[in-house]
C-alpha cells in the first residue's frame, strides 16, 4: 500500500509508504491518501492526526513525476469539477507533520497544510517546481509567505534552493527539531497532549486561528467571541470545571 493508516486511542497516524520513490505519491497513492483523510475527518474517535513518511530519507517529494504526466484534457475543462489535491486535509482536527527527511515540492506543501510541523535533524525543505517548468500549485506560494519572512520565502521559491532543518527552525517554519530516533515519539507525545484536551475546544481554537488570521482584528475578535459562546454551555466545559475542582483529570466526550 502506498499509504498506511493506524489508530491508537484518539490519535491516528498516516504514513506515506513509498520510500523507494522518496514517498512521492502516484495517482493510486493519492486516492488512498484522500480516502483515509475523509474517513478520519468523520471518525468521532479520532481527535488528532500525525502525518509522516516511511523510511529515513524522505518525508515526501510530492507527486511521482514519472506517473503524473499532464492529462489529455485541457485545464479549463476539469478546473471547476476537481478539487485541490490537498483539499481533504482541510479539517478542524489538528494535523501534526513529523518530517523525517526531504520535504520537497508537493511534500513541503503537504507539510505547510498541517498545523504543527516537527522535523528530524536530517530534514530539508524546498519548493523546486521552477526547476521543472512548473509552480507550486497546492498552496505552497501562499502558505510559505504567511509562515516565514517574505524575503526568505521568495528566495526559496525563485531559486528552488533547499533549507536545512536548523534554518527552517530559525525562520519559524517548524516548531521543533529532534533526533531522528525521537521524531515519532515526540510527535505522539504532542498528539496525546492535544487529544487529552476538550475536542470541541481544540477544533474551535484551530478555527479561530485559521479563519481569523485572514480577517481584520475586529471581525476576528467577534468570531472568537462567538466560538467562545458556542463552547460555553457544552458538557465538556462543565466537566473541565468539575474535574478541576475535584483535582482529577477531565473525561471529555466532545459534546
Q: How far apart are CA 106 and CA 191, in angstroms?
A: 24
Give residue 82's Cα distance to chain centre.
21
Question: Which of 54, 70, 156, 60 lies closest to 109 in space, CA to CA?
Answer: 60
Q: How far apart are CA 133 and CA 194, in angstroms?
A: 41
Q: Does residue 109 carry a catalytic annotation? A: yes
Check 82, 129, 167, 246 and give the catalytic one. 129
Check 109, 121, 185, 246 and give the catalytic one. 109
Q: How far apart are CA 107 and CA 26, in angstroms?
A: 13
Provide DSSP, 165-184. Answer: HHHHHHHTS-SEEE-GGGHH
Provide the β-strand partners of residue 13.
Answer: 6, 50
DSSP code for 67: G
Q: Which residue, chain included where needed, has cell 471518525?
A: 43
The answer to whether the CB of 5 falls within 8 A of the CB of 13 is yes
Nearby residues of 186 by Cβ (< 8 Å), 6 or more positions away: 98, 118, 176, 178
Catalytic positions, written as ranges:
109, 129
Amino acid at each position: 500500500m502506498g499509504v498506511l493508516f493506524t489508530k491508537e486511542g484518539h490519535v491516528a497516524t498516516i504514513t506515506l509508504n513509498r520510500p523507494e520513490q522518496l514517498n512521492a505519491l502516484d495517482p493510486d497513492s493519492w486516492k488512498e491518501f484522500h480516502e483515509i483523510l475523509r474517513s478520519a475527518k468523520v471518525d468521532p474517535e479520532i481527535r488528532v492526526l500525525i502525518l509522516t513518511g516511511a523510511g529515513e530519507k524522505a518525508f515526501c517529494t510530492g507527486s511521482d513525476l514519472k506517473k503524473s504526466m499532464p492529462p489529455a484534457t485541457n485545464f479549463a475543462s476539469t478546473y471547476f469539477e476537481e478539487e485541490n489535491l490537498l483539499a481533504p486535509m482541510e479539517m478542524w482536527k489538528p494535523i501534526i507533520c513529523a518530517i523525517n527527511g526531504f520535504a520537497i515540492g508537493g511534500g513541503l506543501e503537504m507539510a505547510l497544510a498541517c498545523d504543527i510541523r516537527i522535523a528530524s535533524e536530517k530534514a530539508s525543505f524546498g519548493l523546486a517546481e521552477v526547476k521543472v517548468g512548473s509552480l507550486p500549485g497546492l498552496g505552497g506560494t501562499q502558505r510559505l509567505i504567511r509562515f516565514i519572512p517574505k524575503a526568505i520565502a521568495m528566495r526559496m521559491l525563485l531559486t528552488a534552493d533547499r533549507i536545512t532543518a536548523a534554518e527552517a527552525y530559525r525562520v519559524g517554519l517548524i516548531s521543533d527539531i529532534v533526533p531522528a530516533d525521537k521524531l515519532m515519539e515526540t510527535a505522539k507525545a504532542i498528539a496525546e497532549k492535544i487529544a487529552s484536551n476538550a475536542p470541541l475546544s481544540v477544533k474551535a481554537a484551530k478555527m479561530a486561528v485559521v479563519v481569523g488570521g485572514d480577517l481584520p482584528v475586529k471581525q476576528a475578535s467577534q468570531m472568537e467571541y462567538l466560538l467562545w459562546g458556542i463552547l460555553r454551555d457544552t458538557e465538556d466545559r462543565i466537566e473541565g470545571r468539575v474535574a478541576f475542582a475535584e483535582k482529577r483529570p477531565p473525561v471529555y466526550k466532545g459534546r
